[in-house]
Amino acid sequence: MGYDPSSFPAFAVTVDVVILTMSEGALQVLLVRRGEAPFEGSWAIPGGFKRPAETLDEAAKRELAEETGVDAASLLTQFGAYGDPERDPRMNVVTIAYLAVLRDVGAVVAGTDAADAALVPVSDVLNGDIELAFDHLQIVRDAIDRVRVELEVTGIATAFVGTTFTLAELRAVYEAIWGVQLDAANFRRSVVADDGWVIPTGRRARPGPAGGRPAELYRAGRAWSHGGPIHRFPRTWEVKA
Amino acid sequence: MGYDPSSFPAFAVTVDVVILTMSEGALQVLLVRRGEAPFEGSWAIPGGFKRPAETLDEAAKRELAEETGVDAASLLTQFGAYGDPERDPRMNVVTIAYLAVLRDVGAVVAGTDAADAALVPVSDVLNGDIELAFDHLQIVRDAIDRVRVELEVTGIATAFVGTTFTLAELRAVYEAIWGVQLDAANFRRSVVADDGWVIPTGRRARPGPAGGRPAELYRAGRAWSHGGPIHRFPRTWEVKA
DNA sequence: AAAGTAAAGGTCGTGAAGACCAAAACTAGA
DNA sequence: TCTAGTTTTGGTCTTCACGACCTTTACTTT
């Protein structure tokens, strides 16, 4: 690497966080309304400059805390870097994108550096109903792609629900993110067969307003480094090229 | 995002490429010997500064071409960003890591900005027999992790072999990367059942020096966006936490 | 010609996944 | 209190993917 250490192209480095949660049966993303140019007034995913003394992971954790008040997310993973020269009209900015999964945050607190913040359904973002600043639409798309495979390959699903949950709630996570319908009985079998992933508490949940047999309450057990209990794709795979 | 566009922390941004190939039945990584401090004389993965006018993908493609002469790799994917403040003793450097897969490159040409270059078995790197500069050991580890799941989840295996190959060669890719033994008959069944992934050419390969029935030659068909034909994990999954 | 080797093809048993049905346990309303 | 509706939970059955293992085919070398 033959270069002069003192003369290198300088870039701004930011960390952006796609914060996902389940709310009202749908997958939601936390957006902030930009308070200044460029893209003043439009929605964006929260983020900010990396500080010279912190790591990327620390920067992501800090941004998440500033925006939501949550200091420890259920999950916070880096999933991509974006550095197109024109992605920020002001200057050359390289951003490292993180995916955060939170159990439903009731009241979203607007962070220190955002004029406004809101949870919006990801479907509204993906189909273009809500326009995002910069290349944030692409970043959100990539985040969704990531969470979809993460759901299959790790035990990430429990990160979306509370500390105690019913199997129906857990099933709703898969159904919302994958956009499929899962058989309740078969789902239960797969999940409890995966010994240790969910642990029955012995307590039961109150049935909803429609009645029905009260569901058993579970809590999250161990996570998986590779291989979750539920799989999509009946065995027909999609073609890329 | 309340910041002053003119006063932001400046970083150096580099792109590093982990170049993998199969050679002599083992997974190999391309390393360059550093010609200057720091870590002068030790091995590193090739990389260099991102230029202000190019995208990250373009920078990776350029680095790959500079180092190997190959202008179009079978595969070139971004898989991680590294930005620890102390990762480079001279200054604050954020690097974006790419994974490149090449069919066996016979003669490795030392690039313009490297004193020396060589293919070394990844096992020698992973077990510490070969020490790498900076945090490049971690980067190579992550690259291997990535290629292992990519192998299962996409049709990436054909990127390691030539334009025409036998099923035994293809099977060797899986066996080397996953460190497993696969039954030749079952492997064949899985692969050809995945209609369109490999296409028989009708021609046959010359048997090796040990003799044996000549194998049919195949060429790569379409790739997969998700879901390859071969799966590891007999059904026992590893625990993370 | 005989022995050796690797590819290719077959068979069989196990087990996972999905479709579908039935029972259990609650709510709401008559 | 009784009945209808709803949801969870449990059961059965079929299908099919996967791995273990064996046989046949087509070449090599001696």
Q: pLDDT > 70: what percent of chain A? A: 85
Protein residue minimizing CA–C1' distance to C7: B213
**pLDDT (0 to 100) of residue A8:** 82
Task: Report the C-alpha dihedral over residues B84, B36, A94, A58, rounded to 10 degrees.
Answer: 0
Q: Do A222 and B238 touch (CB under 8 A)?
A: no
Per-residue pLDDT reduced to its tens digit, A62-104: 999 988 887 776 789 999 999 999 999 999 999 999 999 998 7
**pLDDT (0 to 100) of residue B203:** 92
- For chain B of 241 residues, list the mean pLDDT of each consecutive stretch of 10: 64 96 92 88 95 96 88 85 96 96 68 70 96 97 93 88 94 94 94 88 89 92 70 44 28
- Tokens 């090449």 identify what position? B102
Strand runs (DSSP E) across B50-144, as ranges? Answer: 75-82, 93-102, 116-121
Distance in angstroms, CA of B166 to C1' of D5? Answer: 62
Please state the separation of Cα A119 from the chain's center in Å: 12
Closest residue in chain B to residue A90, using alpha carbons only: B5
**pLDDT (0 to 100) of residue A35:** 83
**pLDDT (0 to 100) of residue B5:** 52
- Which residue from A11, A87, A93, A15 is spatially nearest to B12, judged by alpha carbons? A11
Closest residue in chain A to residue B89, using alpha carbons only: A5
Give the closest of A34, A85, A149 to B53, CB-based: A85
**pLDDT (0 to 100) of residue B236:** 37
Q: What are phi and psi of B234, to 5 degrees?
A: -55, -15
Q: Do A227 and B233 touch (CB under 8 A)?
A: yes
Task: Report the C-alpha dihedral over residues A146, A150, A153, A157, rounded to 10 degrees.
Answer: -150
**Residue type, position A134, single letter:** F
pLDDT band, residue A106 (cuts 50/70/90): low
**Residue type, position A125, single letter:** V
Closest residue in chain B to residue A63, using alpha carbons only: B1
Distance in angstroms, CA of A189 to C1' of D10? Answer: 10
Per-residue pLDDT reduced to its tens digit, B33-48: 988 888 998 999 999 9
What residues have CB less than 8 Å from A5, skipping those under 6 apart?
A: B90, B91
Name the residues contacting strand D (CB < 7 Å). A 166-168, 184-186, 188, 204, 207-208, 210-216, 235; B 183, 185-186, 190, 193, 204, 206-207, 209, 211-214, 231, 234
- Mean pLDDT (whole number) for A130-140: 97
Q: Do B239 and A225 touch (CB under 8 A)?
A: yes
**Nucleotide with smallest C1' distance to residue B217 CA:** C7
Nucleotides of C under 7 A from a protein CB: 3-11, 15-28
Q: Which residues of A touch B53 (CB under 8 A)?
A: 85
**pLDDT (0 to 100) of residue A5:** 52
Higher-scoring residue by pLDDT: A207, B195: A207
Give the closest of B8, B55, B80 to A12, CB-based: B8
**pLDDT (0 to 100) of residue B97:** 98
pTM: 0.91
Q: Are B134 and B51 in contact (CB under 8 A)?
A: no
What residues have CB less than 8 Å from B49, skipping those under 6 apart?
A: A3, A8, A9, B12, B13, B14, B15
- Which residue from A59, A135, A84, A143 is spatially nearest to B13, judged by alpha carbons? A84
- Which residue from B90, B67, B64 is spatially nearest to B77, judged by alpha carbons? B64
Q: How far apart are the first and last CA of chain A?
A: 35
